[in-house]
Every structure is written in C-alpha cells, then in structure tokens.
Amino acid sequence: MKTYYKTLFVLGLLFEAIGQILLSKGNEFVYALRPIDFAHWSLLLGVVLLIPQVGNFKKSIVTYLGVPVILIGITCIIGMCVLDFIWWSQPTQEIRNEFAGQLYKVKVIWTPFIAVGPNFINVGLALLALNYIKQHKIGVLLIIIATLIVFFGRFIPSRLIYVYLISAIGYGLIFFNNQTTNEH
C-alpha cells in the first residue's frame, strides 16, 4: 500500500503541473474550457492525491513540522480552486472583475486562499523531503530548488509548471530508488 500512496503522491504533483500548464495559457483560455474548468480540477485532484502519503512519511521532527505545513497548503489550494470555480462560472469578465475586487477587499479570504496560502504546500514538500537527505541527496536538492523557485523565481515565466515538475522528479527519485523499498 505504501508504494501505492507514493505513486499517488507523484501523480498528484504531475496533476499540479498539468493544471499550471493549462493556467499558463491565460484567463481567456481557462474561461473557455468546457464542459468544466479542467485547469482547476487538475489542481484540485493533484492536491487530493497528495493526502494519503502525507500520513505515511517516517516519523521525525521534519515530518512533525512538514505535515501541518503541507496540509495548510492543501487546504488553501482547495479553497483557491473553489473560488476559481466561481470565477470560471461567471458569464462575463465584468462580473469576474467585480467578484475579484470584492474578494480582494476581504483579506481573510484573499490572503490565505489566493495570495499566501498555496505556497505552504511547497514549504511542506521541502520539509518532508528532508527526511531523505542522507539517502537521496539529488531528489531532496531538486525539491529544495523547486521551493526556492516559488519564492525567488518571480522572473521565470510560468514558474509553477517547473516547480511541480521538478518536485515530481525529486519525489520520484526519492520514492522509487531501490534504497527506499523499506522506508516510509
């Protein structure tokens, strides 16, 4: 079962990358998606696929720090997707702009679900990867680089595509290297 959870975890990161690829095509593209908003459904599915493995990391100090952080990030991305589904469902750009303006004024919604909260997932990914620093330096390094790109790579167009692809590769190296068969 643990390999199954690890596979779902890496697939979740790949779904995050797919969602970011769709979002990188612009708002008009996303608003034209039918019959559903595939971009945000991909993001939602991606974070949900992370959940089973989150409870299966080996017990350590970084796990006790990383699990709450990643769960905050997962919760914030779910909330962000709900808001984005509402944006997507609006019939005109004028209504979308009005909705965005209203949300921006309500900082207790805007800040955790749009501005800051989703970044918690990347910090949680980096913290949880530290469990494997001795055995899988390259995988952990990739995940740390991906997390640094989130915070310091604002100049990189569509950076979140790279963040999630690099994270998926990093966790793939960690989870599916022969040395991890007996690890959580």
19 alpha carbon, distance to own chain's centre? 10
Residue 168 predicted with pLDDT over 80 = yes
Say yes or no to pLDDT of 1 above 90.
no
Residue 61 CA, chain-centre distance (Å), reads 22
Task: Calculate the alpha carbon distances from 138 to 36, 80, 143, 184 in Å.
Answer: 38, 31, 9, 18
pLDDT > 90 in the chain, percent: 86
Contacts of 33 (CB under 8 A, 6+ apart): 22, 39, 88
The CA-based dihedral angle spanning residues 106, 40, 147, 157, taken in that order and rounded to the nearest 10 degrees: -90
Least confident of 107-116, 131-140, 158-167: 107-116
pLDDT per residue as tens digits for the range 36-67:
999 999 999 999 999 999 999 999 999 999 99
Half-sphere exposure of 90 (CA within 13 A, CB side): 16
* pLDDT tens per residue, range 140-167: 999 999 999 999 988 998 999 999 999 9
Question: In the predicted model, what is the mean pLDDT of the chain?
Answer: 93
On whether the CB atoms of residues 137 and 124 are closer than 8 A, the answer is: no
Looking only at Cα atoms, what is the longest distance across the chain?
A: 55
Beta strands in the chain (DSSP E): none
Q: Residue 70: name the closest of 27, 131, 18 by CA.
A: 131
pLDDT (0 to 100) of residue 180: 44
Return d(Cα 180, Cα 167) in angstroms, integer: 17
> In this model, does residue 81 exceed pLDDT 50?
yes
Residue 4 has pLDDT above 80, yes or no: yes
